[in-house]
Chain A
């Protein structure tokens, strides 16, 4: 039962353009969402998060949008840079229910084309 889904296994974007990575979830109780970036042979690196009481959170080139009614969130990276090439994981938790474990999507491999 995949509660967090990233339906695009891969995405290629031209350098300087906007990268949009999508994530859908099925559990309406999830109340905290995070994006992680992962390079090969390294651990996931935290990028940005959003609480379910918000619909947008911005940090530099990264913006996360949350649509609770659609159970959908997206990560926007603008402008995209070659160093952004990595696998991006969406994750969700039941933080306010006292369980902080993360449920991850299967990841989207982003390739930035110079």
Chain B
């Protein structure tokens, strides 16, 4: 069984460019979560999505950040006009539909470096 797949693993962007991070959940999982880990810090929740719906975006910065999980295809975390402070590891996680398990599994992460 393939786990949570994230790409790219490493991404370098210049200030002002856009970054797009992709996440394919585990097979059979319908819930996707994005977390961010800044250097020397823990994991901070950003957004929780189900297919075509944002369930909880309380951890998303109000500007420049957006996320989607379309009916077909991977979930995408988009960061517009990146700044140096966006440099971090971005982790995607997935879990099964309600009633089918309550463990969240993480991908290997995407490391964004803004230069």
Interface positions of A (Cβ within 8 A of B): 32, 34, 36, 41-46, 49, 89, 93, 95, 98-107
Closest to A102 in B: B104
A-B contact pairs, 16 of them (CB 8 A): A34-B103, A34-B104, A42-B109, A43-B109, A44-B106, A49-B102, A49-B103, A93-B102, A98-B98, A99-B48, A99-B55, A100-B95, A101-B56, A102-B35, A102-B45, A105-B42
Contact with A along B62-86 (1 / 0, CB 8 A): 0000000000000000000000000
Q: How many residues of B contact A (CB 8 A)?
A: 26
Closest to A45 in B: B106
Closest 5 CB pairs of A and B: A43-B106, A106-B42, A104-B43, A43-B108, A44-B106
Interface positions of B (Cβ within 8 A of A): 4, 6, 31, 33, 35, 41-45, 48, 55-56, 91, 93, 95, 98, 102-109, 111
User: With a CB–CB cut-off of 8 A, which chain A residues contact B105?
Assistant: 46
Do A100 and B42 touch across chains, with their CB atoms under 8 A apart? no
Majority-rule SS of B interface residues: strand
Majority-rule SS of A interface residues: strand
Do B42 and A101 touch across chains, with their CB atoms under 8 A apart? no
Closest to B55 in A: A99
B29 to chain A: closest CB distance in Å? 11
Q: In the assembly, what is the distance between CA of A42 and CA of B41, in Å?
A: 15
User: With a CB–CB cut-off of 8 A, which chain B residues contact A107?
Assistant: 42
Do B102 and A95 touch across chains, with their CB atoms under 8 A apart? yes
User: With a CB–CB cut-off of 8 A, which chain A residues contact B42?
Assistant: 89, 104-107
A110 to chain B: closest CB distance in Å? 15
User: With a CB–CB cut-off of 8 A, which chain B residues contact A98?
Assistant: 98
Do B104 and A46 touch across chains, with their CB atoms under 8 A apart? yes
